[in-house]
Amino acid sequence: MEGKPNSGRPPSIFARGGLYVLIQALLLVLLFFGPSSLSGEKLWTGRISDWLVWLGWILFLASSVFSVVAAFQLGSNLTPLPRPKVDAKFVRSGLYRLVRHPIYFGVILLSVAWFLITQGELTLAYAGLIFLFFDIKSRKEEQWLVTTFPEYSDYQKHVRKLLPLIY
């Protein structure tokens, strides 16, 4: 049965969404290690800059905790790949009552926090790209989730995708 697409082997990492994971990793490397601004200067100066840095660190910590809690609430369902595991269980409790993709929400908040810390226009652009990327990635993931869990369609009608109460 060599060469047949369904020869009993699990789908390849790319068939399970591996390219999304690679792009996500590259975007996060760009966010944290890429240039934060074209001029090398912060967008704000003085006290406002200091307050924004503090706000950024608070938001950074809060978004990190949010993402970690969401990951724990997924339990054995957690995978870096967007395609659900074969034996996955549908989780809609805890943070998943507030937003369908709380880990993505946490990373989006984390990228906004990093913008407040660095105060660079390029960092803001990276945060925007990360939001756009998670919107695209979640669309594909949700196609798989609807196929895996028929009740997911009803869940989509009642819980926002990426930003609680907003989107």
d(CA 99, CA 158): 9
| H/E stretch holding 54 | helix 46-74
Tell me how far CA of residue 73 lies from CA of 58, 76, 129, in angstroms: 23, 9, 27
d(CA 136, CA 121): 23
Residue 9 pLDDT class (50, 70, 90 cuts): confident
Per residue in 87-109, pLDDT (tens digit) is 999 999 999 999 999 999 999 99
Instruction: Please report the pLDDT score of residue 167 as a whole number.
Output: 96
Of 68 and 5, the structure prediction assigns the larger pLDDT to 68
Residue 7 pLDDT class (50, 70, 90 cuts): low
